[in-house]
Structure 1
Amino acid sequence: MKNKLQFRPASACFLLLAFLSLAQINPSQAQEKEFNFSASLNSDQFFGFYPTFAGSYGFSDKTSFTFYGILWSGGTGGNWGNWTEFGIGANFAAGEGIDINPQIGVLGGNLLSSGTVGPSVFGDGIVPNLTINLNKAKTEGQLYFGYYAPLKDETFADGTTLAYIHYWVNYGFKASPFFSLGAHYEHLINSGGSNVATSTDVYQWLGPYVQFSDPNGGPFARFSFGTDLVDGNDSFFKLTTGFSF
């Protein structure tokens, strides 16, 4: 059946998370809350150029409502039906310098729902994801895991939809308030979608990174590079610059 939204448990989780996150924001306390927003520009040889943004609104000392967006349409993303990702979630302070941020996003485009052969649609897929951030006096790091699952079936030819697993981990040391360096590992898996037998490694990057940051918490620039462990691939590079407002 074509053009019918396939409701799954993840859809119900999305609605529940949105309700719970918003319900805890007390409008009468709005002036006491802290709003944070950041934007970044990213480039690598697989996704091309893709701006991102993220924001949070604190409703207690340890919890915040969060939202984010990824404009995958830049670079090679233009071939994926102007692929766009937007999501919401909540951030929880789990200790000194450690934050846990579960979120769930929804996609517009045609990469997952038709493998780029069908129309660009809202609800191309859903993205439950988790980010754990580490930011201490001398160390920094991040763990991300996201599952890109199709929500619609818009295929025209072989009836195949796509799904992806995307995760990374990096860890580094702050040599000074201005300069840090560490290691980055990132893995993208085409998990097969409607045909799990076609699961393949798209890339598997491993290498160092260097980062230069405003000691006052403003802009930063990070460059990661190294090898691609997938047979037939060679090396990788990833450049990011970000700004906090």
Structure 2
Amino acid sequence: MRKIDVPTLFKGIIALGLFLIVAVSPVFSQTEDKFSFDITVNSDQFFGFYPFFAGSYEVSETSAFTFYGILWSGGTGGVQGAGGGGWGNWTEFGVGMNFDVADGLSINPQVGITGGNLLSSGTAGPSIFGDGIVPNLTIGLDKARTEGEIYFGFYSPLRNKAPEGGTTLSYIHYWANFGVKASDFFSIGLHYEQLTNAGGSNVTSSTDVYQWLGPYIQFSDPKGKAFARLSAGGDLVEGNDSFFKVTTGLSF
């Protein structure tokens, strides 16, 4: 992979920031409260403990500017390593746009950037900003009696800091879940999630890290301000046993 010069990288980031400011400032100057913000904390046996935040600002009746961040560094889990804390304080931040395409159905393309050393050197090099780039897409379903989400993200190295004989890494991460709202307090559904090592500069084949499949239960504040979810079940990758994921969140 071609090495990216650090000054060039920062110039690109500054240019993107200025573009966003110019593009959205006329909309953001309105006084109406169109801002929403969600914080969730997650724990599973691979990534460990990792907080997540997501915000949006409505720019029209059917679209919103979005941003998000994942503090992968919170955990020390991971069957193949030391987790986010051991991957150079791995952190992810991104922006995008959300579009309401039908009643209760939304599409949110985003692009993120990571800091750390997982993608740029397979954890063997220094922790850097611009470790990787993460184009991703989330499709959300939220109707009166059903709920669901589909996520797909491609984690690709943005810079090559692998030492001689080392390798960069890339990953494909996706999940899909669907549930039924038994009431405004309780819902139940099915969760599938997969993480695949898609290869790297010295890796020629992809390998599945995990494939999780199992039910979930969720308890929600009827006013939409908080929820708690437990997902658990089997891991379809040979040699793995089971999975668990606990998530709780607050909306502001």
Deviations 1:129-149 (A, max 9, x none): 000000000000000000000
Percent of matched pairs sharing the same residue = 64
Partner of 1:39: 39
Cα displacement (A) at 1:15: 6.6
Instruction: Give every structure 1 segment of 4 or more consecutive aligned residues whose post-TM-superposition deviation is greater than 4 Å.
Output: 11-18
Partner of 2:159: 152
- Structure 1 Cα separation of the partners of residues 241 and 157 of structure 2: 30
Contact 2:230 2:244 in 1 (8 A): yes
Cα displacement (A) at 1:48: 0.3
Partner of 1:48: 48
Contact 2:124 2:166 in 1 (8 A): no
- Confirm or deny that 1:130 pairs with 2:147: no
Cα displacement (A) at 1:195: 3.5
Amino acid at match of 1:239: V
Partner of 1:93: 100
Deviations 1:22-46 (A, max 9, x none): 6144257521350000101100000
Deviations 1:149-205 (A, max 9, x none): 001111114131000000000000000000000000000000002245231000000
Identify unmatched segments of 5+ residues in structure 2: 77-83
* Gap change, CA 1:123 and 1:210, over 3 Å in 2: same
Aligned length: 242
Cα displacement (A) at 1:82: 0.1
Partner of 2:119: 112
Contact 1:25 1:59 in 2 (8 A): no
Contact 1:33 1:59 in 2 (8 A): no
- Confirm or deny that 1:143 pairs with 2:150: yes
- Structure 2 Cα separation of the partners of residues 49 and 15 of structure 1: 33
Return the TM-score normalized by structure 1.
0.92
Amino acid at match of 1:73: S
Contact 2:114 2:132 in 1 (8 A): yes
Partner of 2:79: none
* Gap change, CA 1:93 and 1:197, over 3 Å in 2: same
Contact 1:149 1:164 in 2 (8 A): yes
Amino acid at match of 2:175: W
Contact 1:187 1:203 in 2 (8 A): yes
Return the TM-score normalized by structure 2.
0.89
SS of 1:191 mapped into structure 2? strand
Cα displacement (A) at 1:115: 0.6
Partner of 2:81: none
Identify unmatched segments of 5+ residues in structure 1: none
RMSD over equivalenced CA pairs, Å: 2.5
- Structure 1 Cα separation of the partners of residues 88 and 2 of structure 2: 18
